[in-house]
Structure formats: C-alpha cells, structure tokens
C-alpha cells in the first residue's frame, strides 16, 4: 500500500512541477550570502546547491490531497512523532511549511495554553488552514503567510519550530533557518523530520530525503547543534537542533 501511495505521489508531483517552478522563480529575494552555487537542474531539483546538496523542487498546493491522504498517519506514524515532541501545554510551536494543517491540528489540542503558528508561503495553503481552523472551531492556531526567505516570526517568540518533510525544499535554507533560529526562545528547539537518505529502502526520491550528517552540517553552519536524533518513525528521522 505504501509503495502504491509513493507512486501516486510521484505522478502528482510531476503534475505540480510547473506550478512549483513558477513559485520558486518569481520575485525571489536576492541571496544575502554567497552560500549558494548554481548548476543545471536535475529532474527533481532547482539547480541551486547549498552545502553540497541540490535543493529539491517544491510540491505546490495542487498536492494538498497527498498531505491529507487517509493512510498518512499509518505510513508516517504521526502519532509517534507527536509523542516524540514532548510538547508542554504552554508551548508556542511554529509549524513551518504547514500545508493543509494535517499536523498543525494534531498538535493544537496538546497546547491548551499555547498555540501553533502555521507558516506557509502559499496563499492557497493559508486558505486551507483558515478553513480547517473554522471547521474544527480551533482558537489556538494562527496561520502565517511567510516568504521563501522569511517565515515572518517575531524574535524570541517560539519554543519549537517543526519542519516536516519541508526543509529539503527551502529555496533559501540559510536565510530561512537564520530567521527561525532568531525566533527561538532561550532553550528553544528546531525539529527536522526528514526521510532517511541513509536508507536505500525508503521509496522516496533522493532529493526528497536528508541524512543526519548532511542536516547537521547545514545546521552547524548557522551555529546550531544536533541535540538528539530520534529514529522511532518507520522511515523518517526526527532531528532536534538547538543553539
């Protein structure tokens, strides 16, 4: 069943490529550093390389049905991910690349005195989030429209930022992670959830996977260190980083 779902995703991703490429080539901010180099784009990449890794293409809002597929919870064991985060009732959590809010709305009940800042760069996803918020009558979810280089989070405002299968698609990873790091409160954590590049049996395209070694290299470039790598999920790393 999982391999069938991955095949469907591959077909859906191909359909979304045109919209995604337009998304990542229109009105982009100038790079703030010389951290990137450019090359011919591979089939699933954008031709922009950071720390030796080609950045993957973004799945656009046309892929919303993939994010909400019924089998996602079982395939990715989002219940185990929720436990691994060890959320406190007062936490303010930024769900970066929140998409339709699948995980945003799983976290919200765990934060009765806190909230989820559901960040996405696509207005269509913000619409999904607002619709989901109204449907569920949730008051502690705040959709935030960010940009490709700035999540629009206030300094020292969050206890945790979680990025689920999103970081590898950031067109401006250095700028984005710099802003996210600045948004952390003292003792705050950044959590990267990524398919394991070390495991050839994970049936996901190479550019949409990330190894612990590569993730650590990229986070260390921003002064962040790996605090813990939790491998309780079937196919994904849960990597905790902090200052």
Predicted confidence at residue 33, as pLDDT, reads 59
Mean per-residue pLDDT for 231-242? 96
Question: d(Cα 105, Cα 215) in Å, to the nearest integer?
Answer: 26
pLDDT one-digit tens code per residue, 177-235: 999 999 999 999 999 999 999 999 999 999 999 999 999 999 999 999 999 999 999 99
Write the CA distances from 196 to 87, 134, 148, 209, integer angstroms.
24, 35, 24, 6
**Pairing between strand 184-196 and 236-242?**
antiparallel
Q: What is the rounded (10 degree) CA torsion for 37, 14, 9, 133?
A: 80
Task: Give this prediction's pTM.
Answer: 0.83
Q: At what angle do helices 173-183 and 212-220 cross, to 10 degrees?
A: 70
What is the total count of domains within the chain?
1
Residue 128: domain span = 2-242
Mean per-residue pLDDT for 109-134? 97
Mean per-residue pLDDT for 95-119? 97
Average pLDDT, the chain: 86
pLDDT band at 15, cuts 50/70/90? very low
Predicted confidence at residue 234, as pLDDT, reads 93
Nearest to 191 by CA among 72, 60, 88, 81: 81
- Tell me which of 73-77, 93-97, 188-192 is least confident: 73-77
pLDDT one-digit tens code per residue, 37-51: 999 999 999 999 999
List CB contacts of 220: < 8 A, sequence separation 6 or more.
none
Predicted confidence at residue 32, as pLDDT, reads 56
Predicted confidence at residue 34, as pLDDT, reads 87
The domain spanning residue 139 has which CATH number?
A: 3.40.50.150
């Amino acid at each position: 069943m999982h391999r069938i779902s991955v095949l469907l995703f591959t077909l859906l991703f191909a359909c979304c490529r045109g919209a995604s490429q337009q998304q990542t080539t229109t009105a982009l901010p100038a790079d703030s550093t010389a951290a990137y180099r450019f090359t011919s784009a591979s089939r699933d990449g954008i031709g922009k390389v950071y720390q030796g890794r080609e950045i993957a293409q973004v799945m656009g809002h046309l892929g919303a049905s993939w994010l909400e597929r019924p089998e996602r919870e079982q395939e990715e064991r989002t219940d185990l991910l929720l436990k691994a985060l060890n959320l406190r009732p007062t936490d303010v959590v930024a769900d970066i690349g929140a998409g339709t809010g699948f995980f945003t709305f799983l976290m919200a009940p765990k934060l009765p005195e806190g909230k989820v800042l559901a960040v996405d760069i696509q207005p269509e996803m913000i619409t999904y989030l607002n619709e989901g918020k109204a449907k569920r009558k949730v008051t502690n979810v705040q959709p935030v429209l960010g940009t490709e280089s700035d999540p629009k989070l206030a300094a020292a405002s969050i206890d945790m930022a979680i990025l689920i299968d999103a970081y590898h698609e950031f067109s401006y990873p250095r700028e984005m992670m710099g802003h996210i790091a600045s948004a952390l409160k003292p003792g705050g954590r950044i959590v990267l959830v990524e398919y394991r590049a070390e495991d050839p049996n994970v049936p996901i395209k190479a550019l949409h996977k990330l190894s612990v070694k590569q993730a650590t290299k990229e986070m260390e470039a921003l002064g962040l260190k790996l605090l813990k790598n939790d491998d309780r999920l079937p196919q994904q790393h849960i990597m905790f980083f902090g200052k």
